[in-house]
Structure 1
Amino acid sequence: MGTQGITEKDIADFLANTPGFFERHAELLASVQLTHPHSARAVSLQERQAEMLREKIKGLEFKIIEMIRNGQENVAIADRLHRWTKRLMLTAQPAELPAVLTQELRHQFMIPLAGLRLWDVAPEHAGAEFAQAVSQDVKSFAASLSQPYCGVNSGFEAARWLSGEEGAAANASSLALIPLTLGAQPGQSIGLLVLGSPDPTRYTAEMGTEFLSRVGEIASAALSRLAPQNGAGKGAGAESTQP
């Protein structure tokens, strides 16, 4: 039979569909020579297969190392979140919560800048720095957020609340804006937590926000102690005036 018209695919298909071929022609395995992937020298098929197996094992080792490293990082993050949450729970005076929250957040997670503002707080907290007036645009923006916003600082009003490393507040290139809510719905906003960094890549639009959402939930729960009547908002007061 002639070989004219036979392609490499035909040969490959034949070998794939004829598993006993090399058992009947074992001498071919020793005679096949392949080019070494990292040099110009020729190697036997067995040596090439061994090299491929070593490369596969090395790739699996790298994946295992990466999994271990990710696991260790997750444990470290969980520990920091635990310490931060515990510090909030141990803060006896509600008026001290905003400062403790931002300071410990910066310390535990090595965040250069942090700040927050709350609105509709209890009357005894109305004069505090964290309750200073903000524009209606900020309130509307916070109420519209269903998840934290991450991105460049394009002149956000909230960037002016930042405090932290000396001189860094004026150079906050990237921001994370986290809505603080009194209830489960995003529209029930009571404030806005802002994190900042001089590094423009620290907070980007592409990054995941699940962890920041958890931070917002814990912060909201802690700061709800500053709301009027332990969390009863203006809406509850309005209902009591109805005939």
Structure 2
Amino acid sequence: MKPTHSDAMNPITEDDIANYLANTPDFFERHAQLLAQVQLTSPHGNRAVSLQERQAEMLREKIKALEHRVMDMVRHGTENVVTADRLQRWTRGLLTTRDARGLPWQIAADLQTLFMVPQTAIKVWDCDVPYWSEGYAQWVTDDVKTLATSLTAPYCGLNSGFEAANWLGDARAAVSIALIPLRAEPGAPAFGLLVLASPDAQRFNPEMGTDFLERIADLASAALSRLRP
């Protein structure tokens, strides 16, 4: 059969062939010999391979990708277990301590030790009278209080000269920083600020989730309620 003028004007495209094969599943049943004749280029070289061999290679690649995903899930699961264990130990310390006066220092120090944070600091204001002379209750400016209250979630990112960074032992080494406001309840003015810092610019970055830090804030705020009138 000779091609018509219409066929010449509208030649068959690869999409036409693909659609035909997709909608004619029994084609290769009627032409099974074609499967053995099809030759494809191997992704691992310029040699030609059969369709079956190429499909086997694709299947091996998919299996390898799935294995990597499983390994990542196991690794993340292990990391989550370790983090949960550390959080539990930190929380236990908050519950069992009897020294309310030294509790802010304990909160910061235990976070630094358990979670391997290079530097930590904490300030608490609006304390009850017996705690006014403690270092954590002094030298807090109104600017810091305003900043802490304005944070609806922990701030994570580069240290752009935050005043609170000066509470750290070495402010120059605080490249990335987390500022965690402490408040009695959601929406209430902050009564304290917890600072975590690292020389690693990516340790506390804007893309990281803050759920864990928010949990830290809730627990620390509840424990520090003992210092408030």
Scaled to the shorter chain, the TM-score interval is: over 0.9
Secondary structure of the residue that 2:179 maps to in structure 1? strand
The letter of the residue matching 1:193 is L
The whole-number CA distance in structure 1 between the counterparts of 2:192 and 2:24 is: 71
AA at the equivalent of 1:180: L
TM-score normalised over the length of structure 1: 0.88
Q: Using the alignment, how far apart are the partners of 1:208 and 1:13 within structure 2?
A: 45
AA at the equivalent of 1:38: H
Cα RMSD for the two superposed structures: 1.3
The equivalent residue for 1:212 is 213
Aligned equivalent of 2:88, options 77, 82, 91: 82
Shift of 1:154: 1.6
Give per-residue Cα distances to partners, 1:72-99, cap 9 Å, x unaligned.
1111110010011111111111011111
8 Å contact kept, 1:144–1:186: no
Distance 1:54 1:119 in 2: 61
Identity of aligned residues (%): 56
Gaps of 5+ in 2: none
Rounded to whole Å, the distance in 2 between the matches of 1:35 and 1:107 is 56
How far residue 209 of structure 1 moved from its aligned partner, in angstroms, is: 1.1
* Partner deviation per Cα, 1:92-116 (whole Å, 9 max, x = no partner): 1101111111111001100000001
Give the distance between the partners of 1:187 and 1:143, measured in 2 at CA.
8
Q: How does 1:93-242 map to 2 (within 5 A)?
A: 93-163=99-169, 168-182=170-184, 184-228=185-229
SS of 1:95's equivalent in the other structure is coil
Matches within 5 A, 1:42-61: 42-61=48-67
1:206 shift after superposition: 2.1
Residue 9 in 1 paired to residue 9 in 2?
no
Query: Unmatched 5+ residue regions in structure 1?
Result: 229-243
What amino acid sits opposite 1:35 in the alignment?
T
Total equivalences in the alignment: 223
Runs of 4+ in 1 over 4 A off after TM superposition: none
1:185 & 1:43 partners in 2: Cα distance?
64
| Partner Cα distance (1:170, 1:16) in 2 | 64
Question: Taking structure 2 as the reference length, what is the TM-score of the superposition?
Answer: 0.93
| Letter in structure 1 aligned against 2:88 | H
Q: Please state how far the C-alpha of 1:192 moved relative to its aligned partner.
A: 0.5
CA contact 1:115–1:161 (8 Å) conserved in 2: yes
Instruction: State the secondary structure of the residue aligned to 2:102.
Output: helix
CA distance in 2, matches of 1:187, 1:55: 53
Report how far residue 6 of structure 1 moved. 1.1
For the 8 Å contact 2:94–2:107, the answer to whether it is kept is yes
Task: Return the alpha-carbon distance in structure 1 between the equivalents of residues 104 and 208 of structure 2.
Answer: 26
**Aligned residue for 1:232?**
none
Alpha-carbon distance in 2 for matches of 1:8, 1:155 = 60
Q: CA deviation at 1:8?
A: 1.1
The 8 Å contact of residues 145 and 186 in structure 1, kept in 2 or not, is answered as: no
How far apart are the structure 1 equivalents of 2:118 and 2:171? 9
